[in-house]
Amino acid sequence: MRLLIKICLIICLSSFFKINVSAGEKADLIKQNWPFDGFFGRFDQSSIQRGFQVYREVCAGCHGIKYIAYRDLANVGFTTDEIKSIASEYEILDGPNDEGEMFDRLAKPSDKFVGPYLNDKEARVANNGAYPPDLSLITKARAGGADYLYNLLNGYKDPPENLEISDGMYFNTIYPGNQIAMPMPIVDEIVEYEDETPATQDQIIRDVTSFLVWTAEPELEERKVLGIRVLIFLIIITLMLLAVKRKVWKDVE
């Protein structure tokens, strides 16, 4: 009975948290079913690989991903050779060498993704004063996570007649304030998939979103696998403890 009260209490409390978390959310997001959702959520590697291609060909011109190294791509199914050749497409400034000079060299698998700009100032100048954020953590850094990103990229619509859009801004139904400095990045066929998946706008957005969920939470799969084991273990132990407790307490008036 008391246990019941306790459980009720916990449910009440948690619904109370829910209210206060959702208070941060803005426009209504259309929820998607993601393969990485839920207790048994797993990454869809081919989707993430396609998403990486989208990032490389579309977003990387403006956004960096500074917390991921090229070799991390091995975790989503790229081979060592593929990773080497991907890395070698980029140049980074290294040094000083023994002569005290800085020099450019090709990126190695152990290097972090090379970003498009040298610094924040350059990023702003190139984007009309707006700052394209690093995308490493983007799905964790926005209320709604993957759903927010999906809806944002799908959120470019024709602006209502009476709305004046400032110079260099674009109408977006999801972005707070409805005016975003990022031009609509994704349309049908903007990339060509090697695995012949039809490159519809929706598909491309799902793929790049999956990719960015992986960059934000590379530990997600490991976490959920371990989590299931830990919970099963704890539930068994707890049931055993309940049995012992009942037995010990049997004779207490």
Neighbours of 92 (CB within 10 A): 15
208 binds, among other proteins, ligand HEC, none (CB under 5 to 8 A by kind): ligand HEC
245 forms part of the interface with other proteins (CB under 8 A):
yes
Considering only residues 215 to 244 of the shown chain, the ones binding other proteins according to CB under 8 A are 216, 218-219, 223-224, 226-228, 230-231, 234-235, 237-238, 241-242, 244
Exactly one of 106, 143, 165, 187 binds other proteins (CB under 8 A); that residue is 143
Residues contacting residue 135 through CB under 8 Å, at least 6 positions apart: 55, 59, 63, 64, 65, 212, 215
Site for other proteins in 86-115 (CB under 8 A): none
The interface with ligand HEC within residues 103-142 (CB under 6 A) comprises 127, 130, 132-133, 135, 138, 142
- What is the identity of the amino acid at 82? E
Binding-site string for ligand HEC from residue 78 to residue 97, where x marks contact by CB under 6 A and - marks none? --------------------
Q: By CB under 6 A, tell whether 173 contacts ligand HEC.
A: no
User: Between residue 5 and residue 44, which ones bind other proteins under the rule CB under 8 A?
Assistant: 6, 9-10, 12-13, 16-17, 19-21, 23-24, 39
Look at residue 161 and give its three-state secondary structure.
coil
Binding mask 35-74 for ligand HEC (x = CB under 6 A): -------------------x---xx-xxx-----------
Judging by DSSP bridges, how do beta strands 103-106 and 91-94 pair with one another? antiparallel
Per the CB < 8 A criterion, the answer to whether 216 and 136 are in contact is: yes
Type of residue numbered 128 = N
Residue 125 interacts with other proteins (CB under 8 A): yes or no: no
The residue nearest ligand HEC at its CB is 59
How far apart are alpha carbons 194 and 170 in whole angstroms?
Answer: 31
Smallest separation, CB 137 to other proteins (Å): 5
Q: Give the Å distances, CA to CA, from 97 to 25, 93, 100, 102, 191.
A: 50, 11, 5, 6, 39
Binder of ligand HEC out of 29, 87, 199, 208 (CB under 6 A): 208
For the chain, give the number of residues.
Answer: 253
CB 131 within 8 A of CB 115: no
**Residue among 54 and 68 whose Cβ is closer to ligand HEC:** 54
CA pair distance 175, 125, nearest whole angstrom: 22
Query: CA 154 to CA 220: how far, in whole Å?
Result: 25
253 binds, among ligand HEC, other proteins, none (CB under 5 to 8 A by kind): other proteins
Amino acid letter, residue 152: L
Binding region for ligand HEC (CB under 6 A): 54, 58-59, 61-63, 127, 130, 132-133, 135, 138, 142, 149, 152, 175, 180-183, 185-186, 208
